[in-house]
Amino acid sequence: MQFLHLDAMVWMWVALAAGIGTAVTLGARRRMWLKLATARMRPRLQSTAGQLRHGVRGTLLVSVLTLLVIGLMDPRWGVRFEPVSQRNIDLMFVLDTSRSMQAEDLSPSRLERARQYIDDVTDIAAGDRIGLVSFAGHSHLEVPLTRDTTALALALDSIHIRGGRDGGSMLGDAIRLAADSFGDEGEGFKSIIVLSDGEDQGSWPADAAATAREHGIRIWTVGLGDPVQGARIPVDIDGERLFVTHDGAEVWTKMDPATLEAVALAGEGNFIAAGTSNIDLGEVYESVIAPGTGRRTSSAMIERPIPRYNWFVIPALCLLMLEWLLGRCWTHAAPRSALA
**Using one digit for the tens of pLDDT, what is the confidence trace for 179-196?**
999 977 655 689 999 999
Q: How far apart are CA 89 and CA 129, in angstroms?
A: 6
Residues 6+ apart with CB under 8 A from 91: 121, 125, 128, 129, 130, 131, 190, 191, 192, 193, 293
Whether the predicted pLDDT of 316 surpasses 80: yes
Residues 6+ apart with CB under 8 A from 70: 312
In the chain, which segments carry CATH 3.40.50.410? 82-302
The predicted model gives 146-173 an average pLDDT of 81
Radius of gyration of the chain (CA): 28
pLDDT at site 143: 94
Give Cα 240 to chain centroid, integer Å. 24
Whether the predicted pLDDT of 337 surpasses 70: no
Residue type, 32: M
pLDDT at site 50: 56
Q: What dotted CATH number matches 82-302?
A: 3.40.50.410
Whether the predicted pLDDT of 175 surpasses 90: yes
Beta strands in 65-214 (DSSP E): 75-86, 89-96, 129-135, 139-146, 189-196
Q: How far apart are CA 175 and CA 181, in angstroms?
A: 10
Whether the predicted pLDDT of 339 surpasses 50: no
CA 98-99-100 angle, 5° bins:
95
Q: How far apart are CA 110 and CA 100, in angstroms?
A: 8
Q: How far apart are CA 106 and CA 225, in angstroms?
A: 6
